[in-house]
């Protein structure tokens, strides 16, 4: 493997792109469900249920990227704090305010007490998707400790095993505590419920070269594995009914599906018609995650009722995706846009500025 490939982690971009598409599938299908008297057809139900692999995979990626810095000895506490504030906490605050206004203006939800609204911001309570960002913020509080205690391969193995049992015990957890604390601990926003996926991301980072090389050596096997896991999910929701992204089977499904998706990279990257869009989605995944419920909510109010015929679901899915990408690219031209959506800038530097950047990087 080339140094460049190792540095830019193209396989992780692919994994993030698939997670993004999965989450989008859940929310687009859920919108059609609500607009069709709470009914699915077979395709929208498939999209809604299989898409629930997406959020846990995002947690895996969050753990991977942080522990990968530790592995490469590039982790700095001060840089960690400043970058997390700008890349995650500020977007959480700003988008919480956007969605709060959206609910006030379109749904007539009155603004509550300042304390209540602040609590909702940091628990992701202002819209249905923001809980994931709140979970990641909670991980940031414990990560400086985790990276000190579990900063070796064996340490990550131990952490992952311990985390498996914690996450398993947290499924359906009832703290038997009244009030806000009890409700928060029993909610999907409570970090320990997701700690296995975060820890597995760290394990994946520390064993990255071995796992990547093994998986990418057998792309067709990895494709078969991903199809089998999808078939297993279909059987599971057919027998048990509606699934959530917090079901016990995901403790096995998510590690296997993450590795399988990474292994499919050599197969899918052969076709630029797939490679370029998936790479772009990987880069824009955070922005798409933040924006797409906003787009869907406006669509519900402004598009004609015929739009919500189930036959148009695939078209709506693509339309939402394209609108989100377009909005991200526009937002990138706004000053301080990185506090709103942390994505690479669009503008391509000329050769002279590239030489300057390279010189600055060399002396940084």
What token pair was written down for 142? 């414990």
Mean pLDDT of the chain: 89
Q: What would the DSSP string read from start to end of 44-93? A: HHHHHHHGGGHHHHHHHHHHHHHHHHHHTT---HHHHHHHHIIIIIHHHH
Q: Give the integer Cα–Cα distance in Å for 277 and 317.
A: 15
> Which residues make Cβ contacts (< 8 Å) with residue 357, sequence separation at least 6?
349
Question: Does 126 score more than 50 pLDDT?
Answer: yes
Mean of the pLDDT values across residues 215-232?
Answer: 95
Helix axis angle, 219-240 to 42-50, nearest 10°: 110
Question: Does 154 score more than 90 pLDDT?
Answer: yes
The full set of domain ranges for the chain reads 3-363
Q: Answer yes or no: are the C-beta atoms of 191 and 184 closer than 8 Å.
A: no
Question: Does 11 score more than 70 pLDDT?
Answer: yes
Angstrom distances, CA of residue 66 to CA of 140, 200, 267, 336: 9, 12, 27, 24
Question: Does 49 score more than 70 pLDDT?
Answer: yes
Q: Which of 23-27, 239-243, 313-317 has the lowest mean pLDDT?
A: 239-243
Mean of the pLDDT values across residues 138-154?
Answer: 94
pLDDT of 348: 41
> Which residues make Cβ contacts (< 8 Å) with residue 340, sequence separation at least 6?
90, 91, 94, 95, 331, 334
The neighbour count for residue 292, using CB atoms within 10 Å, is: 21
What token pair was written down for 197? 């996926």
Question: Does 4 score more than 80 pLDDT?
Answer: no
Q: Give the integer Cα–Cα distance in Å for 83 and 129.
A: 22
What token pair was written down for 335? 């000053």
Angstrom distances, CA of residue 236 to CA of 245, 249, 258: 13, 9, 19
User: Any idea which residue has 């095993």 for tokens?
Assistant: 161
pLDDT of 7: 54
Q: Give the integer Cα–Cα distance in Å for 264 and 268.
A: 6
């Amino acid at each position: 493997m080339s140094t460049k490939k190792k540095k830019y982690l193209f396989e992780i971009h692919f994994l993030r792109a698939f997670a993004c598409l999965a989450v989008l599938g859940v929310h687009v299908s859920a919108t059609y469900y609500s607009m069709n008297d709470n009914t699915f057809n077979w395709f929208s139900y498939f999209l809604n249920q299989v898409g629930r692999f997406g959020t846990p995979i995002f947690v895996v990626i969050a753990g991977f990227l942080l522990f990968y810095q530790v592995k490469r000895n590039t982790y700095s506490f001060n840089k960690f704090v400043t970058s997390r504030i700008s890349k995650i906490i500020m977007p959480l605050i700003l988008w919480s305010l956007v969605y709060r206004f959206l609910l006030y203006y379109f749904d007539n939800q009155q603004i509550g007490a300042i304390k209540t609204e602040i609590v909702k911001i940091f628990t992701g309570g202002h819209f249905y998707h923001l809980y994931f960002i709140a979970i990641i913020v909670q991980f940031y509080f414990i990560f400086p400790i985790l990276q000190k205690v579990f900063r070796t391969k064996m340490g990550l193995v131990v952490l992952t095993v311990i985390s498996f049992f914690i996450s398993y015990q947290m499924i359906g957890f009832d703290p038997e505590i009244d009030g806000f604390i009890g409700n928060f601990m029993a909610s999907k926003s409570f970090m320990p419920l997701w700690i296995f996926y975060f820890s597995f991301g760290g394990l994946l980072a520390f064993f990255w070269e071995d796992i990547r090389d093994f998986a990418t050596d057998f792309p067709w096997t990895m494709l078969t594995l991903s199809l089998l896991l999808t078939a297993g999910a279909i059987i599971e929701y057919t027998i048990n009914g509606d699934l959530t992204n917090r079901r016990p089977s995901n403790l096995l499904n998510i590690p296997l599906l993450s590795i399988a998706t990474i292994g499919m990279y050599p197969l899918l990257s052969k076709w630029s018609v797939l490679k370029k869009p998936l790479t772009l989605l990987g880069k824009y995944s955070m922005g798409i995650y933040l924006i797409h419920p906003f787009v869907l909510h406006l669509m519900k109010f402004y598009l004609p009722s015929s739009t919500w015929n189930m036959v148009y679901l695939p078209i709506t899915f693509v339309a939402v995706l394209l609108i989100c990408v377009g909005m991200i690219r526009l937002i990138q031209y706004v000053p301080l846009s990185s506090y709103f959506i942390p994505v690479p800038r669009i503008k391509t530097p000329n050769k002279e500025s590239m030489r300057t950047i390279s010189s600055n990087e060399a002396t940084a």
